[in-house]
A and B are shown apart, each in its own frame.
Chain A
């Protein structure tokens, strides 16, 4: 995370590591931050957003007959959105540098999702190394009123969200993989996205640059 320097980040870098803080206080802190940021931002009608996204997906399905191609296109669009959304996110929320991927996941859920979609997915199903988790959405604003037709089996309706996560995190030097593991539209209880940290992207110097 390249967050703007602030007293908070200096303190956390200097003193105790973030993981030593009690999880509930960290979570509460981010929940409150998320709510504050949500309150400050301009809002649009949720139905307008849902219907626009629905029209977008329906149009893609009509144009590209292959469902996998549509899934890929949605992910790519999400990626492009994520690359730009991260700047908005950091500017509006001012979150400090994260100490661990666990903290990143909590921030994504309690601040990121809250600010932009007004939902807080439940973070869970952590793997042993703490590099993979799922975001579970009980009620997904993108999927209101949607019923998948039989011709669109295998369509990952929310793939845009996966792309957004990938694009946004890539801009802060975290290479991740995100995929939809369960979807309310396909008969599961709720929508779940699995986020896996692949590696941290090192700064790469241009090959033309030579150390003098």
Chain B
């Protein structure tokens, strides 16, 4: 059990009732995945993060904990496969699932979402949607990295990148 997990559990325990209510309100429409946040981690630093539609501001710290603790799992799984998409999900915590994609330069894209119903067709569709989302974010990320003025591990501050990621999330039914 990782220390972050314990801290996350403690943080969650403080607001269980509210969580129950909001969970029901966020019932996923067919094909939609209730995605909470997407994060890009470079070599050593967090380079980009964005709260997606289903994510709540007050739960942001919980999401951060879960995503960061998932990085250890990504590290393990990365050596098991040569594909860029690590499937299925990389880590699970209560009702959260974390999906990961490793870019060509080693940067990791992480997506945090709530578990969808355990129906095989739905799960495969979710996985496909998320993989497509990651592929397109990979295109955008590559263009950022090719910019000569972009320093390694610097924060991605381009507003057009931000807008495009949000548009892609909406396109693939995330959040």
Chain A residues in the interface with B (C-beta under 8 A): 51, 53-55, 57-58, 61, 144-149, 152
Q: What DSSP secondary structure best describes chain B's contact surface? A: loop
Q: Taking the complex as formed, is B143 at the interface, i.e. its CB lies under 8 A from any CB of chain A?
A: yes
Which stretch, B9-17, B56-64, B144-152, touches the partner chain A?
A: B144-152
Contact (Cβ within 8 A) B148 A149: no
The size of the chain B interface, using a CB distance under 8 A, is 6
For B143, give the chain A residue with the smallest CB separation. A145
Q: A51: which of B148, B149, B158 is its contact (CB, 8 Å)?
A: B148
Most chain A CB within 10 A, of B147, B149, B158, is at B149
Q: Please encode chain B, from 127 to 141, with 1 for each CB lying within 8 Å of some chain A CB and 0 for all others.
A: 000000000000000
Hey, which chain B residues are within 8 Å of A54, CB to CB? 147-149
CA distance A54 to B86 in the complex (A): 33
Contact (Cβ within 8 A) A61 B146: no
Chain B residues in the interface with A (C-beta under 8 A): 143, 146-149, 158
Contact (Cβ within 8 A) B149 A148: yes
Minimal beta-carbon separation of A13 from chain B (angstroms)? 47
Most chain B CB within 10 A, of A51, A54, A57, A152, is at A54
Contact (Cβ within 8 A) A145 B149: no
Minimal beta-carbon separation of B68 from chain A (angstroms)? 28
Hey, which chain A residues are within 8 Å of B158, CB to CB? 147
For A54, give the chain B residue with the smallest CB separation. B148
Hey, which chain A residues are within 8 Å of B143, CB to CB? 145
CA distance A167 to B146 in the complex (A): 30
Q: What are 25 A-B interface contacts by the 8 Å CB criterion?
A: A51-B146, A51-B148, A53-B148, A54-B147, A54-B148, A54-B149, A55-B148, A57-B148, A58-B148, A58-B149, A61-B149, A144-B146, A145-B143, A145-B146, A145-B147, A145-B148, A146-B147, A146-B148, A146-B149, A147-B147, A147-B149, A147-B158, A148-B149, A149-B149, A152-B149
CA distance A61 to B148 in the complex (A): 11
Most chain B CB within 10 A, of A53, A55, A144, A145, is at A145
Most chain A CB within 10 A, of B143, B146, B148, B158, is at B148
